[in-house]
Chain A
């Protein structure tokens, strides 16, 4: 167990809908990262938050947004879902801004039908 908790584990939704994925980082970790893993794209960095502030953005679509709350948990919001958004979404956390070791959660498997 990495100590990073993601909910829900599985999510099935229809195209055009909006979903929210939740992540609780390890105790003491200030950085939260979101990654998308699909079969054809591998693990793609989406976004990083550090202590409530956005620190880095990757290939995150405009339909996607995220935030980190004062208690350091994070949410990833995916809207106007398309079939191609079906993927595993991972959250990771680390102590500092520049990671020395990031711990990954078990992921949320999103299926868009």
Chain B
């Protein structure tokens, strides 16, 4: 079936460094992608999204890059802080599918070392 997968289960970075979390998706019909952050004991929290007609989108300290040719998505976090420690999920959906169904990847745990 369809799946969105993350390349690495755990990423450990030094505080202040930049983090890059990767994601590969398999459904070429997906046209909308979202990154979620999930802290321990909490529900997923929306970070940033990108539509397939874009290849880059920036937010506050975060940037999402989309490469449709190789079906790859990445989340870059600048100047990583201890508060960024969490599990990060990418998710995909089809806006043309007329539902809000999201397909989530397995998640990458980001550990920030002080």
What is the minimal beta-carbon distance from B92 to any residue of chain A, in angstroms?
A: 11
Question: Does A98 reach chain B (CB closer than 8 Å)?
Answer: yes
Given A98-B95, A101-B49, A43-B44 contact (CB < 8 Å)? yes
State which residues 65-112 of A face B: CB under 8 Å. Answer: 90, 92, 94, 96-107
Flag if B43 contacts A99 (CB, 8 Å): no
In the complex the two chains form, what is the Cα distance from A42 to B106 in whole Å?
A: 5
Report A-chain residues with C-beta under 8 Å of the C-beta of B102: 33, 35, 43, 45, 99, 102
**Chain A interface extent, by class:** 20 to 34
Q: How far is the CA of A48 from the CA of B41 in the complex (A)?
A: 23
Interface string of B78-104 (1 = CB under 8 A from A): 000000000001010101011111111
Cβ 8 A contact of B100, one of A2, A42, A90, A102? A102
Name the distance in Å between A89's Cβ and chain B's nearest Cβ: 10
> In the complex, which residues of chain B have a beta carbon less than 8 angstroms from the beta carbon of A90?
43-44
Q: How far is the CA of A42 from the CA of B104 in the complex (A)?
A: 7
Contact A97 B99 (CB under 8 A): yes
A21 to chain B minimum Cβ distance, whole angstroms, is 13
Q: Is there an interface contact between B46 and A102, defined as CB atoms closer than 8 Å?
A: yes
| Interchain nearest-CB distance for A84 vs B (Å) | 18
Given contact pairs A42-B107, A99-B93, A33 touches B100 in the complex (Cβ within 8 A) = yes
Most interface-central of B49, B104, B106, B107 (chain A CB within 10 A): B104
**Nearest chain A residue, comparing its CB with the CB of B94:** A98
Residues of A with C-beta under 8 A to B89: 42-43
A96 CB → nearest B CB, Å: 8
Q: How far is the CB of B33 from chain A (nearest CB, A)?
A: 12
Known: A104-B43, A106-B42. A99 touches B100 (CB 8 A): yes
Q: How far is the CA of A98 from the CA of B93 in the complex (A)?
A: 9
| Given A33-B101, A42-B89, A56-B101, 15 additional A-B pairs, CB 8 A | A42-B104, A43-B104, A43-B107, A44-B104, A55-B99, A92-B44, A96-B100, A97-B98, A98-B95, A98-B100, A100-B49, A104-B36, A104-B43, A104-B45, A107-B43
